[in-house]
Structure 1
């Protein structure tokens, strides 16, 4: 694990990735509203992501095609694809804030998985941050009103939870792969985008073959959202997050990524009109405290 300035840099990169991913929830909804079928949107996004990641890898010196022989890289692509499939269909059924929240309950899965598989330690500060997450996510999502839970689409909530579980595996596997000192962040990002594209292309082709929402129905806003999510929220965010994961534990990474819930909630309120009351903002504040606690931690236990 990193320490000192290296730790702060890793934490900062992780949170920057979380901010970018937080913007994706509302942006994806815009794309879906402008004619994109979820699977076509995802396929186009990942093709754009792979192309942009290839440019970055080439600029940084190479592609390390040997990574494709590592079954864990394909496992990353598969878990990433599963997470996206769940997320895109969930956003067709529920609001961005709730989808972001439930997706980020991956933290609940990451903590025990990182302890069992990666043997990561838990400091009192880390435990305190985990405890603070519970009331924070509840208040941010419900605004203190239990009836709001019944107002959401149950299927959308379950799909979001499936996305969270998929990305919990992604976080743990990524940490495992990054323990190999030969693995470069830009190269790993490239082949994660590539393997994800391989898994999503059949879904897009099947959607077109079935005659369900062809690409001709997609408007300019939809195409713009595909480019944004492909370049910024995929290649850019994954580069930042993967680099950050080299310096923090999997659990700390998951805690810091809660910033995406706050970003999604603010954008949901600003652009889609979803109201946030004082209790919801209190929940956002608690999540910020949890992230600050982790950032103030002076050292990491591997």
Structure 2
């Protein structure tokens, strides 16, 4: 029997809203942190450090959650389940971070944040196409509007850049990030039928780290020289990426999804490019140009428009076991 008073429930919901604000702030900060990291280390080395730390924290957390629920740590029971978990590490960690860190080595944090902002909308459209669901007109219009915004950003507002194909290679590489994340999200829908979000993310971080470490070894062998040594600023960047951008962000995000529902929680994703560009200007002294501002507005507007739920299709909070105690 639920004895929670309306006042206590309101306090709990307000606390979750605050956590969602902070989560998007942390995620916006990952673009700045990654820029700091790739100034001191190659992309795969930096990504390996991030997910080795994240996996070392997420796996024990998932085990603790299972033990608290009176169950054992969820293990894959078939090759199909194993491949499903492995695919999460491949797409959402290995491939995503390969293009994320490599792209940010050559482009600005603000551009990266604005390009990756199409994540949720591209995920929704690809999910509809993959699962043979009908694409809503608002989704198609929102994606088109967002793509116009992204084109404006990577072309720097110049038609000559488009006609002469003189795009920044970092911007082009970053375009792969939303695609990788869309694949990760679509694959994750089936995996979450068997595993909790925390367990699935722990497996993704583990398998991602398993793939990233050999890639970092090959990367180092190809370039030679001594192993990269992070400064204190570099380590702060890695810790921000691993702790705040991955572990804390994940836990708080799913608390919000559980309590207020996916649709309302997803609206907060629109804040990520806003925080990303503001932090890039403050911490990296990146100067925003008019094309970035207008393009960013189109991206956010397109994502908002395309992510709107049809009238009368209210989405209830997610049922099942909460991860709020984490």
Q: Give the TM-score taking structure 1 as reference length.
A: 0.77
Give the distance between the partners of 1:19 and 1:68, measured in 2 at CA. 37
Counterpart selection for 1:73 from 81, 85, 90 = 85
When residues 15 and 170 of structure 1 are mapped into structure 2, their CA distance, relative to the original with a 3 A threshold, is farther
Could you tell which deviates more after superposition, 91-100 or 60-69?
Answer: 60-69
Counterpart selection for 1:31 from 31, 34, 37 = 37
After superposition, residues 1-302 of structure 1 pair within 5 angstroms as 17-33=23-39, 35-62=40-67, 64-67=73-76, 69=78, 70=81, 71-80=83-92, 81-106=94-119, 109-118=122-131, 126=139, 129-130=142-143, 132-138=145-151, 144-146=157-159, 154-178=168-192, 180=193, 182-210=194-222, 212=224, 214-215=226-227, 217-241=229-253, 247-248=261-262, 253=266, 257-277=269-289, 280-290=292-302, 294=307, 299=313
Give the distance between the partners of 1:217 and 1:169, measured in 2 at CA. 33
Could you tell which deviates more after superposition, 59-68 or 290-299?
Answer: 290-299
Could you tell which deviates more after superposition, 184-193 or 238-247?
Answer: 238-247
Where do 5+ consecutive residues of structure 1 fail to align?
none
Where do 5+ consecutive residues of structure 2 fail to align?
1-9, 317-326
Could you tell which deviates more after superposition, 260-269 or 226-235?
Answer: 260-269
Give the distance between the partners of 1:143 and 1:205, measured in 2 at CA. 36
Is this contact kept in 2: 1:175–1:245, CA < 8 A? no
Give the distance between the partners of 2:24 and 2:77, measured in 1 at CA. 27
How many matched pairs? 291
Please state whether the residue corresponding to 1:92 is helix, strand or coil: helix
Give the distance between the partners of 1:278 and 1:243, measured in 2 at CA. 37
Give the distance between the partners of 2:17 and 2:134, measured in 1 at CA. 17
When residues 143 and 16 of structure 1 are mapped into structure 2, their CA distance, relative to the original with a 3 A threshold, is farther
Is this contact kept in 2: 1:256–1:291, CA < 8 A? no
When residues 84 and 263 of structure 1 are mapped into structure 2, their CA distance, relative to the original with a 3 A threshold, is same
**Bigger Rg over Cα:** 2
Is this contact kept in 2: 1:118–1:176, CA < 8 A? no
Give the distance between the partners of 1:183 and 1:277, measured in 2 at CA. 44
When residues 76 and 281 of structure 1 are mapped into structure 2, their CA distance, relative to the original with a 3 A threshold, is same
Q: CA deviation at 1:42?
A: 0.9
